[in-house]
Amino acid sequence: MTNRKIPLAAVIGSPVAHSRSPALHTHWLKKYGLHGHYVPMDVSQHDLPEVLAALPKMGFVGANVTIPHKETVLKLANVVTDRAALIGAANTLIFRSDGKMHADNTDGYGFIENLRHNAPGWDPKSGPAAVLGAGGAARAVLASLLDVGVPEIRLSNRTRARSEALRKEFGAKINVYDWVKAGNMLDTAATVVNATSLGMDGKSEMRVPLDALSPNALVTDLVYTPLETEFLRTAKTAGCMTVDGLGMLLFQAAPGFERWFGVRPEVDEEARRVVLGL
């Protein structure tokens, strides 16, 4: 018998019932024979500060944060990592033993690791990237692509003002394209990313013409329901290497798990199946 507290972690959002994070973390806890639990918590915006203040007292060592709390937690944290500040949102919280709440964002890391693992030979420096979308997910994509040294990012969004705002924030490597001309930015692009919600089950399909895609381009979609979107299917037909968005979800979870439970978990086929509910 030891007096060691069993470490607890949560995913906090609203709604949160659909989240696959509890299944993934519980799978890893079991796989590595670790003590600990990971639970979903549906928390309103009003209650968030009180809940976050109480969790460490209850044995929680950290949490993932999802919609609609990813931006709010930056204001509540005592320490914010540079990448979370740059992205303007956090997805991973660590409740430190000194009582301080540490907020990090591992979405960009998850995005890059997914490509590194599933697109052998991909070199982000080899040419411009083209990114569709300028929401929260796009911010993580831009920050991480710049971090790994892409020479240029072409950015297009239905609401142009949002891409202009990102250009101002992320700097001169970003070139904004009008949404009706988004197809033009694919020409010579080495990395092409759908960071919109288009193509997701229940949403409209992406209508951007993909004729200008080079077969040398790596094409990835942040949408993972369905796993193979129309966007990825078209890119595959054009001869491109494609990577689905599920891996980003898996890889973004790994750093949090390691900080809370002490083991770096492996992202493998088994983890993928767990998240897919297979």
Q: Where along the sequence are the contacts to ligand ATR (CB under 6 A)?
A: 133-138, 157-159, 162, 196-198, 204
Residue nearest to ligand ATR (CB): 135
Any residues with CB less than 8 A from the CB of 245 and at least 6 apart, and which? 114, 220, 221, 222, 223, 224
DSSP 72-123: HHHHH-SEE-HHHHHHT--SEEEE-TTS-EEEE--HHHHHHHHHHHHSTT--
Report the nearest approach of ligand ATR to the CB of residue 204 (Å).
Answer: 5
Catalytic one of 70, 75, 100, 125: 70
Nearest CA-CA partner of 4 in 61, 53, 51: 61
Smallest separation, CB 90 to ligand ATR (Å): 13
What is the smallest separation between the CB atom of 140 and ligand ATR, expressed in angstroms? 9
> Is 168 part of the annotated catalytic residue set?
no
User: Least separation, in Å, of the C-beta of 195 and ligand ATR?
Assistant: 6
> CA-CA distances (angstroms) from residue 180 to 58, 154, 157, 177, 201?
52, 14, 9, 8, 23
Query: Which own/partner contact pairs does 83-89 have at CB distance under 8 Å and 24+ positions apart?
Result: 83/108, 83/109, 83/143, 83/147, 86/143, 87/139, 87/140, 87/143, 88/136, 88/139, 89/136, 89/139, 89/140
Distance between alpha carbon 95 and the CA centroid of its chain, in Å?
21
Closer of 135 and 226 to ligand ATR (Cβ): 135
CB of 235 to ligand ATR, least distance (A): 18
Q: Which residues does the annotation mark as catalytic?
A: 70
